[in-house]
Chain A
Amino acid sequence: MSRKDDLKEVDRAAAEAGIPPAHRRDFGRYIERCKRKGDGGTKNDRGDFTYPELLEKAREFKEQNG
C-alpha cells in the first residue's frame, strides 16, 4: 500500500469519526505516537493500522477531545 493510500485511509477514518482537518492533522501525530510506543496496529510488522483499527482510534480520539 502506498503512502498516499495510507494517508487517504487516515483522512477517511477521521472524516467518518467527525474529525475536522486541524484535528485530523493532530490525529495523525497521535497514531504515529501510538505506533512508536508499541501500541500500533496489526496491518504489518511496522505497526500500521488496518482501516477498522484507524476508525476505532479516530472515534476514541474524537470522544476524548470533548
Chain B
Amino acid sequence: MIIDLKKEVRESREFHLLEAFLGTLVGQRCLKVELSYGGELMLHVGEPLPYSHPKLADEQKGGWILGSRASGWSFLLNDPPFLIESDGQGPGTVEGSAAHALDPGQVEEKVAQLIGSTIIAATLALQPLRRAPHLGVSVFIGFANRSRLVIAPNDELDEEPHLADWELFTPYGMYLRCGPGPVWSYLRSDVLEAPIDRGATSTA
C-alpha cells in the first residue's frame, strides 16, 4: 500500500486507511501535551517546529498534532500514576458543581511526564454512541513509559454544522478529520474551504 501524504481524500469510510494514517504516530516522541480553548486536548509529537504566529513565538509545536476536538479524553499516567479524565469528577466533588472542572495548567503539569516518551501503539476502535450517527471512532495511544491516552467521541448531541470527533495535523500542510461517524477526510490545512457538512443521520 502506498499513501500519498500530500493528496486529499474526501469522505472515506476505509477503516484500514484511517488506521494507517494514525499509525504514522508510532515511533515518534511526545513533544508536549496542552489544553487548548474549549478544553481541547492537543498531543504534539515528532520534530519540534516554531509557530509562525508572533504571539506564539515563545513556544514550539510538534510536526504532528493530534487534537481531540470536543471528544472525551483520558490519560492513564504511569510515573507518577494519575488518571485524568476530561469529563470525569474527582473524589469528593459534588455532582453538578464546578468543583470538578479541570485546571488546564495542572493537567499539563501532570502530563508533562510524557515529554520525550515514544509512542509505541496507536490504534482505533469503533464505538457505539447514543446520538446520531450512533457510531464513532475512538483513538488509543500507548507510550513507552507505559502511559495511555484514549480519545473517545461522547454522546453529546451535535447539530449542524457538525464538528469532527478528532483531527490529526501532519507536517505536510494537511490534516485528517475523523467524524462524526466512521467517516474521515484528509484535507489541506493551509487553505480555507467551506466546511464539509453532512447530515448526522446520513452517516449511520
Q: How large is the interface on B (under 10, 10 to 19, 20 to 34, 35 or more residues)?
A: 35 or more
Q: Does B85 contact A (CB under 8 A)?
A: no
B191 to chain A, nearest CB (A): 5
Majority secondary structure of chain A interface residues (helix, strand, loop or mixed): helix
B 11-52 to A, binary, CB cutoff 8 A, 1 in contact else 0: 000000000000000000000001111111010000000011
B92 interface residue, CB < 8 Å from A? no
B178 surroundings in chain A (CB, below 8 A): none
The interface on chain A, measured as residues whose beta carbon lies within 8 A of the other chain's beta carbons, has a size of 29
Whether A15 and B37, one on each chain, are in contact in the complex, defined by CB atoms closer than 8 angstroms, is no
- Determine the distance from Cα of A61 to Cα of B50 in the docked complex, in whole angstroms: 16
Q: Are B38 and A6 in contact (CB under 8 A)?
A: yes
Q: A21-B189, A22-B175, A30-B53 are in contact. Are A2 and B69 (CB under 8 A)?
A: no
Question: Do residues B54 and A29 form an inter-chain contact, with CB atoms below 8 A?
Answer: no
Interface residues, chain B, with chain A CB atoms under 8 Å away: 34-40, 42, 51-56, 59, 61, 65, 67, 69-70, 101, 104-105, 156, 158, 161, 163, 167, 169, 173, 175, 187-192, 195
